[in-house]
């Protein structure tokens, strides 16, 4: 999933941050 995260980070850093925040919040 690291590769996918990279693509998201480069495509939409804000979106990736939101996703990470969600995972950390859970």
Q: For residue range 1-26, what is the model confidence (pLDDT) as tens digits? A: 555 555 555 556 666 677 777 777 76
Task: Tell me what pLDDT residue 22 has.
Answer: 76
State residue 14's pLDDT score.
66
Q: Tell me, what's the pLDDT at 24?
A: 74
Are the CB atoms for 23 and 12 separated by under 8 Å?
no
For residues 21 and 14, the answer to whether their CB atoms sit within 8 Å is no
Predicted local confidence at residue 21, as pLDDT: 76
pLDDT at 19: 73
Q: CA neighbours within 13 Å on the CB side: how many for 8?
A: 12
Half-sphere exposure of 7 (CA within 13 A, CB side): 4
């Amino acid at each position: 999933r690291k590769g996918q995260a990279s693509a998201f980070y480069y495509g939409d850093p804000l979106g990736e941050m939101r996703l990470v925040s969600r995972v950390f919040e859970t």
